[in-house]
Amino acid sequence: MEGLETGFETPMRSAPPRVDELRQVARQRFGIARLHREQERTIGAVLSGRDVLLVLPTGGGKSLCYQLPSLLLPRPTVVVSPLLALLEDQFLKLQQLGVPTVRLDSTVGVADRRAALARIAAGGSILVLTTPETLAGDELGALLAKSPPGLVAVDEAHCISEWGHDFRPAYLALGQRLAGLRAGQILALTATATPPVRDDIVRYLGLREPEIIVASPHRHNLMFSVRDLRGDEKLRHLAKLARRLPRPGIVYCSTTKMVDDVWLGLRLIKVPCARYHGKMTDKERSEHQARFMKKGKRIVMVATSAFGLGIDKPDIRYIVHYQAPASLERYLQEAGRAGRDGHAARCMLLFDESDLQIQEHLLALSRLSPSLLGRFGRALAAWAGEERDANIEELALSAGVSQRAASSLVTTLVEAGICERVENRRVHATGPLDTLVERVEGLRSRFEVLRREDARRMRAVVEYASEPECRSVALRRYFGDTDPTPCGRCDLCRTHGVGMRPAGRIDRRPHHPRRPWQAPGGEVPRPELAVALPAGGPRADGHERRRRRRRRGRRGAQPAEHPTGAVRPAPPAAAPLSLLSPPSPLPPLDPAADDLAAELGAPGLPPEPQAAKLAGGPPGSVLPGGAPRHRRRRRRRRRRGHGPRPAVAQPPGTP
């Protein structure tokens, strides 16, 4: 298929909104305080009358790039997506935000469908959520032909290319359909697209001198890591991660059986978890998904790749791929569901090369056989040459395939616009008869390319798992970004010391502004917070309290004179300095967590200091510093704010 010529001029906006106006609309209507740079560029280009190809990773905010313009454009905005769950989720959220929205797909009832069509016919600013199949129908197509949309947004645009990981024949006829709608602008969106896929998107959708905006394949707050594990090592390592890492999290498995096994294993070690796969009933899936999506609920979801479409939970702290994915595109899409709130999140792959055999089997079941497609196309052309319509059973018999395979082949040909279903379950060939076999052969060659690319994508997963430098650089290189800068956050960068924090304990306490009595040296940093002190009196701030506390701590080290004149007895002699060792920079760890600490970049377990052995006496014993145990314990409790301040014992003879 060659590039499409539209044959009409695109209306240009005389004065597109300024950036501050776009930010104000995003803040008032969507509650978004800040727009990303790619979002501002995309929205500005669309409102200026340009076609745009946007490649933005999962969780980067692609949906806002057409939701916000739908409020500013005077004509309807049509969004085309193959994901029904995503359409339903967006429709409910936009209704809550008060954005004019209608939804048209195969799941919408008759009454709601009639109301949606009436609202589109009324014109004005409205967002229309639909699928490629519904857009290709006569009902919505005839309505949009009368009132052309101001913007058509094609989500998951990589589905139009056989070089992509999720080729869908329904997208092939989308370019011709968009040319007939006379849309103002076309916005193509995808999360993952290699350079060949981008070229196909531009050519097949007929984008006119588009502005191509490509962001980094992943967000900066994601920390990627890979562990090479075999057999039962996976489940043991996953048990450690599930017990130690903060929740919520998602564990992706390739098969439903593995989902059930992992789910049962996590339940045995008392980890709160849920599951999701296609063999569960609708009620069970809804219950488990609602439990995971509940705000504030911190559990682990064990699921197949079917879970996650339309799921917008911002506080997911980690994604674990228990089995190797079929491609880096899918891996990056699923990993991008973590850390949408901007905080750090982990994306871990438990790699076993034998898992790729499972992916090969699953792809063989899901991909059409090119040879069967060619035979079926010739059988369909033979029936069309006799000007007769055949049913599924007759076509299966003519092509020598099973009825199940024939039904799948008919669905693919209908999506590609080569044939259509008519009454009595019969199939009618569309288009010129002399080009029917040629069109089927063209579709067959696409599936051959798709199968070759499947093998290449699985080899790329192996190369990513064996990457010696940086995971982020490997992902960027795969998607055509030649930036060699390491991320400093993945497991390889932490192992090589790239971008690591300086050695020592990291203070994880929240940093609050200093109060007047917390300033260094007791000085008041701001005049408006100055405390009036009595003339000649002591400081009434925390500095004086800290000074007295330090003085009390030194009393055990040297004799001091009491105000009454009595001299305190000298403390017992401290242990020799040669027996003491400097304090460890890290708190003692459980030996079972040593491998996890090594994976996360932390140093090994510190040796037990000699001072700890000297301090191992009864509760009333004296520490090497000279202070009794109970006194130091009480002092710590006072510093932490636990319990009342103990009464000071008065020396004998004091009134």
Q: Residue 426 is part of a domain; what is its CATH number? A: 1.10.10.10
Residue 284: which domain range? 222-361
Residue 357 and residue 409 in one domain: no
| CB 465, CB 349: distance < 8 Å | yes
Flag the least confident range among 170-179, 296-305, 494-503, 583-592.
Answer: 583-592
* pLDDT value of position 146: 81
Residue 423 lies in a domain: yes
**Helix, strand or coil for residue 290?**
helix
- Six-digit token pair at 149? 């949309």
pLDDT of residue 564 exceeding 50: no
pLDDT value of position 407: 86
Residues 335 and 261 in one domain: yes
- Structure tokens that stand for 430 in this block: 């569309």
Tokens of 197: 């896929």
**Nearest 5°: phi and psi at 514?**
-65, 140
Q: Which residues are within 8 A (CB) of 240 and not within 5 positions of it... i.e. 6 or more apart?
A: 592, 593, 595, 596
Strands 426-429 and 419-422: antiparallel
Question: Which one, of 603, 478, 450, lies nearest residue 195 by Cα?
Answer: 478
- Flag whether 258 is in a domain: yes
Domain assignment present for 71: yes
Q: How many CB atoms lie within 10 A of CB 350?
A: 23
pLDDT band at 271 (very low <50, low <70, confident <90, very high): very high
DSSP annotation of 387? T
8 is a domain residue: no
What pLDDT sits at residue 274? 94
In a domain, 392, yes or no: yes
331 & 426 share domain: no
Tell the burial category of 548 from Cβ atoms under 10 Å away from its Cβ (0-12, 13-18, 19+).
Answer: exposed
Could you tell me which residue, 578 or 647, shows the higher pLDDT? 647
Average pLDDT over residues 640-652: 54
pLDDT higher than 80, residue 252 = yes
Measure CA 631 to chain center.
Answer: 51
Please report the pLDDT score of residue 498 as a whole number. Answer: 81
The structural domain count of the chain equals: 3
| Apex 199 CA angle, 194 and 202, nearest 5 | 125
Same domain, 90 and 182: yes
C-alpha distances in Å from residue 573, one per residue of 194, 234, 456, 557, 631: 72, 54, 73, 9, 18
Residue 501 inside a domain? The answer is no
Phi, psi at 429, each rounded to 5°: -75, 135
Give the span between the Cα atoms of 191 and 62, in whole angstroms: 8
Query: Residue 540 pLDDT more than 70?
Result: no
Residues in the chain: 655
Distance separating alpha carbons of residues 597 and 587, to the nearest angstrom: 12
Query: From CA 615, how far away is CA 435, in angstroms rounded?
Result: 91
Geometric angle at alpha carbon 74, from 69 and 79, rounded to 5° = 50
Same domain, 399 and 440: yes
3-state helix, strand, coil in the chain (%, to 5): 45, 10, 45
198 and 257 belong to one structural domain: no
Q: What is the mean pLDDT of the chain?
A: 77
Question: What end-to-end distance do the CA atoms of the chain give, in Å?
Answer: 104
pLDDT of residue 195: 87
Q: How many CB atoms lie within 10 A of CB 297?
A: 15
Q: What pLDDT, in 10s, does the model give residues 338-358? A: 998 889 999 999 999 888 888
Render 416-475 in DSSP notation, one character per residue.
TTSEEEEGGGEEEE-S-GGGHHHHHHHHHHHHHHHHHHHHHHHHHHHHHHT-SS-HHHHH
pLDDT of residue 430: 86
From 441, 456, 471, the end of a domain falls on 456
Provide the 10 A C-beta neighbour count for residue 635: 15
Q: Cβ atoms within 10 A of the Cβ of 74, count? A: 9
Mean pLDDT throughout 104-109?
Answer: 86
Cα–Cα separations (whole angstroms), residue 369 to 113, 374, 420, 458: 37, 9, 21, 19
- Which residue in the block uniquely carries the two structure tokens 């857009």? 135
Do residues 285 and 306 make contact, with C-beta atoms less than 8 angstroms apart?
no
Whether residue 575 has pLDDT greater than 60: no
375 & 351 share domain: no
In order, the DSSP letters of 65-87 are HHHHHHHH-SS-EEEE-S-HHHH
| Res. 572: pLDDT tops 60 | no
Nearest partner of 312 among 94, 52, 38, judged by Cα: 94
Of 410, 434, 456, the one marking the end of a domain is: 456
Q: Are strands 419-422 and 390-391 parallel, antiparallel or unpaired?
A: unpaired
Within-domain flag for 376: yes
CB burial string 5-28: b at 16+ within 10 A, e below: eeeeeeeeeeebbeeeebbebbee
CA distances from 206 to 6, 51, 175, 345 (A): 8, 10, 6, 38
DSSP 573: P
pTM beyond 0.85: the answer is: no
CA atoms within 13 A on the CB side of 508: 1
Burial class of 587 by CB neighbour count within 10 A (0 to 12, 13 to 18, 19+): exposed
Residue at 218: amino acid letter: H
Tokens read off for 615? 């301090």
Question: What pLDDT, on a 0 to 100 scale, did the predictor assign at position 124?
Answer: 85
Cα distance between residue 518 and residue 509, in whole Å: 16
Is 453:197 a contact under the CB 8 Å cutoff? no
Strand pairing category for 273-276 and 151-154: unpaired
Residue 342 sits in the same domain as residue 270: yes
For residue 608, is it within any domain?
A: no
Letter string b/e over residues 432-460, b meaning 16 or more CB atoms within 10 A of that residue's CB: eeeebbebbeebbebbeebeebbeebbeb
For 159, the token pair is: 């589905």
Same domain, 198 and 251: no
425 and 441 inside one domain: yes
Among 339, 361, 383, the domain-final residue is 361
Alpha-carbon Rg for the chain in angstroms:
33
3 state SS of 556? coil
Q: What is the CATH number of the domain that holds 63?
A: 3.40.50.300
| Higher pLDDT pick, 232 / 516 | 232
Are both 385 and 339 inside the same structural domain? no
Instruction: Give whole-number Cα distances, 570 to 387, 552, 555, 561, 633, in Å.
Output: 115, 14, 9, 11, 21
| Residue 198 and residue 131 share a domain | yes
The mean-pLDDT minimum among 41-50, 470-479, 569-578 falls in 569-578
The pair of structure tokens assigned to 321 is 């791929």
Which of 404, 408, 428 has its CA nearest to residue 418? 428
At 152, the pLDDT band (50, 70, 90 cuts) reads: very high
